[in-house]
Structure 1
């Protein structure tokens, strides 16, 4: 397996939807326009590719000096456990630099994963949920 990581390409909505559906990440994959807007309005996107197949993505919103919100971390199901998610996080942290924290909201099924890759669980967050 020869995975290539890229910071200079935004996948197509179709590639993103296929990745999200395969990975099990709950996103509005039935709404192509919304997926496109999610990526158009993100300012740090790191992708993982196996030849022409999108196998992973880290989608972020950051100010580059204080905080970086890791909005989506997805890896194709058959590519999990090869360190792709961990590498995407490492590249995200490297790109935003040491002055910038990386924070996220986890889906319930990934709560055990994030402490293993360097995140500290916080009890100091709040949320106003979206109206689907």
Structure 2
């Protein structure tokens, strides 16, 4: 029997818990997990964190920056490898989108724009999850 997954917006995710799920997901190779102060700052400055828990264990997390009106940037999507393939990542994205657009009136206006950058190893996942690939993004890291 598969345990129920509880999805929630969390405002105080512990740094150690976040690092642990980054490691269990494989995303740790692309995040500064050996610098807990930096990870802590990443959590404090994100303004939307959605979690997936199985019997209290953090099995997935979506960490985003949003204005709750026009755009939402999903900067981390991590699901424990042992829990992948169960729709948790897709559900975390939907929960993030819904939480970020909660203040937008349903008046037929422009919907919230939700974006993410994919890790190279996950490029095949997102189209399968129903995301559209964009050709109009630019990286200004080295400007």
Is this a same-fold pair by TM over 0.5? yes
Q: Show structure 2 runs of 5+ residues with no match.
A: 102-109
By how many angstroms is 1:22 displaced? 1.0
RMSD: 1.4
State the Cα deviation string for residues 104-131 of structure 1 (Å, max 9, x = none). Answer: 110001111111222111111111237x
Q: Distance in 2 between matches of 1:56 and 1:50?
A: 9
Residue of structure 1 in register with 2:104 after alignment: none
Q: Show structure 1 runs of 5+ residues with no match.
A: none
Q: Distance in 2 between matches of 1:70 and 1:78?
A: 22
By how many angstroms is 1:9 displaced? 4.1
Larger radius of gyration: 2
Q: Structure 2 residue aligned with 1:42, among 29, 40, 46?
A: 46
Partners of 2:52 and 2:58 within 8 A in 1: yes
Residue of structure 1 in register with 2:111 after alignment: 99
Partners of 2:60 and 2:88 within 8 A in 1: yes
* 2:89 equivalent to 1:85: yes
Moved over 6 A (4+): none
Q: Given the two structures, how large is their TM-score scaled by the length of structure 2?
A: 0.85
Number of equivalenced pairs: 130
Q: Distance in 2 between matches of 1:92 and 1:5?
A: 10
Residue of structure 2 in register with 1:55 after alignment: 59
By how many angstroms is 1:10 displaced? 2.8
Q: Given the two structures, how large is their TM-score scaled by the length of structure 1?
A: 0.92
Residue of structure 2 in register with 1:71 after alignment: 75
Q: Structure 2 residue aligned with 1:3, among 2, 5, 26?
A: 5
